[in-house]
Amino acid sequence: MSNEKAKYMSAPAGKSLTKTLQEKADLLRAKDSFKEAAGTYLNSILMDRNNSETYLGLGICYKNMGKIKKAIENLEKAALLDSNKFETFYELGLCHLKDEMPCRAIKCFIQAIQINPENPDAIFQLGQAHEQCDEQDMALMIYQKLIENSPSYINAYLRKSSLFMKMELYKQALSLYMNILKINPNYTKIYSEIGLCLDKLGRQTEAKRYYRKFLSAQPDDENANKILKRVEKLRQVKNLSNKLSLV
C-alpha cells in the first residue's frame, strides 16, 4: 500500500476515504491550487460517482483552469445529482457565458435565483446573459430591479449606465454614476465616465474638472493619456473661444 493511500486509510473511524479525498480537494481549491485539486476530485470520483459536491468542485476547478467544456460537463453531472444547490447552477451559468452560450446561461441563472432569490450576483449575471443575447431592454429592467432591491450593489449601476452610454442616453448615465459616488465616494475610477457624460452633454467646464480628478486619482490608468489629450483639446477650444469673443 502506498504511503499516500495508507495515510487516508488511517483516517478516523467513520470517515471514508472518499470524504477525506473530497475535503483535501476542497482545501486545495480554496488555495487556488486548481490542478492539484482536480486530480484529487477525480480520485474521489473513482470511488463514488454519486457525490454532487465532488463534481461541483471539479467543475469549478476546470472553470478556473480555462477548461470550460469539461467544467460544464461536470457541473451538469452535479446538477443531475442535486437539483437544489444554488452554487451549481450559478457556476454553470458562468461557464455558459464564458462559452458564449447566453441562452443556456439564462436558464441556469433563473434556476439559481429560484433556489436563492436574495443573491444579487445571480440576478446581475442574468442581466449580463440578456446583454449577450442583445436583449438590452430586459437587461435594463433586471439591473433596475436589482438597484431597487439591493441599492448598494454598485455593479448594477455600472452595467445599466454602460448600456445608457451605448444608447447615447448620457443624462441618464450621468445620474447613475453620481449615485455610485453617493454609495462610495472613493470610487474614483468612474470620474472619467462622469467626465465623458458631461463632455457629451456639452458641459465642458465640468467635464474637464472630472477628467482632472480622474487623472489625479488614477494617473497610471491605461486611459490616462487619452483623457489627458482630451483635457488639452478642451483647453485649446476654450482659449480659442475666448480670443474670438475679444475680436
pLDDT of residue 235: 82
Quick one: average pLDDT of 121-136?
Answer: 97
Shared domain for 54 and 27, answered yes or no, is yes
Which structural domain, as residue segments, surrounds residue 206? 168-247
Quick one: average pLDDT of 125-145?
Answer: 97
Q: How does residue 156 score in pLDDT terms, banded at 50, 70 and 90?
A: very high
> Of 15-24, 162-171, 175-184, which range is least confident?
15-24
Name which residue leads in pLDDT, 33 or 14: 33
pLDDT of residue 1: 38
Supply 165's cell numbers: 452610454
Residues 179-233 pLDDT 10s = 999 999 999 999 999 999 999 999 999 999 999 999 999 999 999 999 999 999 8
Q: What letters, b where the CB count within 10 A reaches 16 and e where it falls short, cover 94-121? A: bbbbeeebbebbbebbbbbbebeeebbb
Shared domain for 245 and 173, answered yes or no, is yes
Shared domain for 3 and 61, answered yes or no, is yes
In contact, 81 and 49? CB cutoff 8 Å: no
Report how many domains make up the chain: 3
Residue 62: partners with Cβ closer than 8 Å, 6 or more residues away: 38, 68, 70, 71, 74
- Whether residue 131 lies inside any domain: the answer is yes
Provide the whole-model pTM: 0.84
Percent of the chain with pLDDT over 70: 90
* Count, residues in the chain: 247
pLDDT of residue 14: 36
Shared domain for 134 and 197, answered yes or no, is no
pLDDT of residue 239: 56
Exposed/middle/buried for residue 7 (C-beta within 10 Å: 0-12, 13-18, 19+): exposed
Domain end position, chosen among 32, 67, 82: 82
CATH number where 133 lies = 1.25.40.10
- Whether residue 184 lies inside any domain: the answer is yes
Shared domain for 8 and 69, answered yes or no, is yes
- Whether residue 159 lies inside any domain: the answer is no
Task: Give the separation between CA 208 and CA 175, rounded to whole angstroms.
Answer: 18
Name residue 20's amino acid: T
Residues 113-125 pLDDT 10s = 999 999 999 999 9
In contact, 145 and 123? CB cutoff 8 Å: yes
